[in-house]
Chains A and B, each alone.
Chain A
Amino acid sequence: MAESDNDIVKMAGIYKSFPGVQALEKVDFALKKGEIHALVGENGAGKSTLIRVLTGVERPDRGRITLDGKEVLIKSPQHAQELGISPVYQEINLCPNLSVAENIMIGREPTKFGCIDWKAINSKARQIIQRLDIDIDVTQTLGSYSVAIQQMAAIARALEISSARVLILDEPTSSLDAHETRQLFQVMNRLKRDGMGIIFITHFLDQVYEVADRITVLRNGKRVGTYETASLPHMELIAHMIGRSLADYDDMKKTKLESGRRIQGHTLLEAKSLGLAGAIEPFDLELHAGEVVGLAGLLGSGRTEIARLLFGIDRPDSGSISVNGKGVKSFTPLHSIKRGVALCPEDRKADGIVGELTVRENIILALQAGQGWFRHMRMQQQYEIANKYIRLLHIATPSADQQVKNLSGGNQQKVILARWLATNPQVLILDEPTRGIDVGAKAEIQKLVLSLAEEGKACVFISSELEEVLRTSHRIIVLRDREKVTEFSGEVDEHKIMYAIAGSGS
Chain B
Amino acid sequence: MMPGYPFKFDRKYLPVIVTILMFVFAFVAASIKYTGFGTFQVFYNMLIDNSFIIISAVGVTFVIISGNIDLSMGAMIAFVSMVAAALTEKVHLSPFLTIPLVVALATLMGSGMGAIITYFKVPAFIATLAGMFLARGLCFVISIEAININDPFFRDVALFQIPMPGNTFISINVIIMLVMVLLGIYLAHYTRFGRAVYAIGGSEQSALLMGLPVNRTKVLVYAFNGFCSGVAGVVYSFYLLSGYGLNANGFELDIISSVVIGGTLLSGGFGYVIGTVFGVLIQGIIQNIITFDGTLNSWWTRIVVGLLTLLFIVMQRVLTFKSKSRVTKSAT
State whether these chains interact: yes
A residues in contact with B329, CB < 8 Å: 174, 278-279
Instruction: Return B177 CB to nearest CB of chain A, in Å.
Output: 22
**Which of A43, A107, A111, A145 meets B212, CB within 8 Å?**
A107
Given contacts A94-B210, A97-B198, contact A174 B328 (CB under 8 A): yes
B residues in contact with A144, CB < 8 Å: 321, 324
**Which of A92, A145, A171, A303 meets B332, CB within 8 Å?**
A303
The reply to whether A93 and B205 contact each other, CB–CB distance below 8 Å, is yes
User: Residue-by-residue, is B199-213 near A (CB-CB < 8 Å gives 1, otherwise 0)?
Assistant: 101110111111110
The reply to whether B191 and A93 contact each other, CB–CB distance below 8 Å, is no
The reply to whether B195 and A77 contact each other, CB–CB distance below 8 Å, is no
| Interchain CA distance A346-B331 in the complex, whole Å | 12
A residues in contact with B10, CB < 8 Å: 140-141
Asked if B166 is at the interface (CB within 8 A of a chain A CB), the reply is: no
Instruction: Return B6 CB to nearest CB of chain A, in Å.
Output: 8
| Interchain CA distance A93-B209 in the complex, whole Å | 7
| Interchain CA distance A109-B210 in the complex, whole Å | 13
| Interchain CA distance A478-B210 in the complex, whole Å | 42
Asked if A299 is at the interface (CB within 8 A of a chain B CB), the reply is: yes
> Which A191-219 residues sit within 8 Å CB-CB of chain B?
203
Given contacts A95-B269, A98-B198, A106-B212, contact A141 B321 (CB under 8 A): yes
Instruction: Return B217 CB to nearest CB of chain A, in Å.
Output: 11
**Interface size class of chain A, counting residues whose CB lies under 8 Å from the partner chain:** 35 or more
Asked if A147 is at the interface (CB within 8 A of a chain B CB), the reply is: yes
A residues in contact with B195, CB < 8 Å: 98, 102, 106, 109, 116
Asked if A247 is at the interface (CB within 8 A of a chain B CB), the reply is: no
B residues in contact with A300, CB < 8 Å: 331-332
Instruction: Return B194 CB to nearest CB of chain A, in Å.
Output: 8
**Which of B196, B205, B321, B331 meets A203, CB within 8 Å?**
B331
A residues in contact with B198, CB < 8 Å: 95, 97-98
| Interchain CA distance A183-B139 in the complex, whole Å | 64
The reply to whether B212 and A175 contact each other, CB–CB distance below 8 Å, is no
Given contacts A116-B192, A203-B331, A304-B332, contact A95 B202 (CB under 8 A): yes
| Interchain CA distance A121-B155 in the complex, whole Å | 48
The reply to whether B211 and A77 contact each other, CB–CB distance below 8 Å, is yes
The reply to whether B332 and A305 contact each other, CB–CB distance below 8 Å, is yes
The reply to whether A174 and B331 contact each other, CB–CB distance below 8 Å, is yes
**Which of B5, B191, B202, B208 meets A118, CB within 8 Å?**
B5
A residues in contact with B331, CB < 8 Å: 171, 174, 203, 299-300
Instruction: Return A302 CB to nearest CB of chain B, in Å.
Output: 8
Instruction: Return A260 CB to nearest CB of chain B, in Å.
Output: 30
The reply to whether A143 and B332 contact each other, CB–CB distance below 8 Å, is no
> What is the chain A residue whose CB lies nearest that of B265?
A97
Instruction: Return A139 CB to nearest CB of chain B, in Å.
Output: 6
B residues in contact with A96, CB < 8 Å: 202-203, 323, 325
Asked if A78 is at the interface (CB within 8 A of a chain B CB), the reply is: yes
Instruction: Return A117 CB to nearest CB of chain B, in Å.
Output: 9
| Interchain CA distance A203-B324 in the complex, whole Å | 24
Asked if B270 is at the interface (CB within 8 A of a chain A CB), the reply is: yes
Asked if B121 is at the interface (CB within 8 A of a chain A CB), the reply is: no
> Which B185-230 residues sit within 8 Å CB-CB of chain A?
186, 189-192, 195-196, 198-199, 201-203, 205-212
B residues in contact with A171, CB < 8 Å: 331
User: Residue-by-residue, is A100-135 near B (CB-CB < 8 Å gives 1, otherwise 0)?
Assistant: 001000110101001110110010000000000000
Asked if B317 is at the interface (CB within 8 A of a chain A CB), the reply is: no
The reply to whether A147 and B324 contact each other, CB–CB distance below 8 Å, is yes
| Interchain CA distance A300-B321 in the complex, whole Å | 32
The reply to whether B210 and A106 contact each other, CB–CB distance below 8 Å, is yes
Interface core residue of A94, A106, A140, A157 (most chain B CB under 10 Å): A106
Instruction: Return A433 CB to nearest CB of chain B, in Å.
Output: 14
> What is the chain A residue whose CB lies nearest that of B195?
A106
| Interchain CA distance A140-B9 in the complex, whole Å | 10
A residues in contact with B325, CB < 8 Å: 92, 96, 147, 150
| Interchain CA distance A278-B327 in the complex, whole Å | 13
A residues in contact with B205, CB < 8 Å: 93
Asked if A231 is at the interface (CB within 8 A of a chain B CB), the reply is: no
User: Residue-by-residue, is A391-427 near B (CB-CB < 8 Å gives 1, otherwise 0)?
Assistant: 0000000000000000000000000000000000000
Instruction: Return B324 CB to nearest CB of chain A, in Å.
Output: 6
> What is the chain B residue whose CB lies nearest that of A432?
B332
> Which A431-445 residues sit within 8 Å CB-CB of chain B?
none
> What is the chain B residue whose CB lies nearest that of A143?
B323
The reply to whether B323 and A116 contact each other, CB–CB distance below 8 Å, is no
Asked if A330 is at the interface (CB within 8 A of a chain B CB), the reply is: no
**Which of B12, B190, B211, B326 meets A81, CB within 8 Å?**
B211
> What is the chain A residue whose CB lies nearest that of B267?
A97
Asked if A371 is at the interface (CB within 8 A of a chain B CB), the reply is: no
Asked if A381 is at the interface (CB within 8 A of a chain B CB), the reply is: no
Instruction: Return B200 CB to nearest CB of chain A, in Å.
Output: 8
The reply to whether A118 and B4 contact each other, CB–CB distance below 8 Å, is yes
The reply to whether A119 and B5 contact each other, CB–CB distance below 8 Å, is yes
The reply to whether A107 and B211 contact each other, CB–CB distance below 8 Å, is yes
| Interchain CA distance A409-B313 in the complex, whole Å | 45
Known: A303-B332, A304-B332, A346-B332. 7 other contacts (CB 8 A): A90-B328, A95-B210, A96-B323, A107-B212, A116-B190, A143-B323, A203-B331
6 A-B pairs in the complex with CB atoms less than 8 angstroms apart: A95-B269, A98-B202, A106-B199, A143-B321, A143-B324, A300-B332
For the complex of A and B, the 10 pairs showing the least CB-CB separation, nearest first, are A304-B332, A95-B202, A97-B202, A97-B269, A115-B190, A118-B5, A78-B211, A300-B331, A93-B206, A93-B209
